[in-house]
């Protein structure tokens, strides 16, 4: 679920299907799958926190990658 949200967010923010230069969210999720799943399943507040954190990371990465 979180991976889908992260991918959709990247595609939405960039407006295209491209390989992003920065993959912080994907790397975090791949490097810590149990921790991400535990945090996601802990409570509704945890789900919201994880979602908003991933969206924030994606928005920062977008700012770093967008053309000037």
* CA–CA separation, 44 and 27 (whole Å): 24
pLDDT attached to residue 9: 61
Q: Taking residues 31-57, what's their average pLDDT?
A: 88
Task: Measure the CA dihedral 46/48/25/19, to 10°.
Answer: 160
Binned at pLDDT 50, 70 and 90, residue 17 comes out as: very low
> What end-to-end distance do the CA atoms of the chain give, in Å?
32
Query: Per-domain residue ranges for the chain?
Result: 2-65
| Mean pLDDT calculated for residue range 40-66 | 87
Q: Which residue has the tokens 């979602």?
A: 51
Q: What is this structure's pTM?
A: 0.61
pLDDT > 90 in the chain, percent = 6
Mean pLDDT of 27-39: 88
């Amino acid at each position: 679920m979180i991976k889908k949200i992260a991918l959709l967010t990247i595609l939405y923010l960039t407006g295209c299907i491209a390989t992003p230069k920065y993959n912080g969210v994907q790397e975090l999720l791949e490097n810590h799958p149990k921790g991400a799943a535990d945090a996601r399943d802990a409570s509704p507040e945890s789900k919201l926190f994880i979602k908003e954190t991933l969206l924030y990371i994606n928005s920062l990465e977008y700012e770093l990658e967008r053309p000037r």
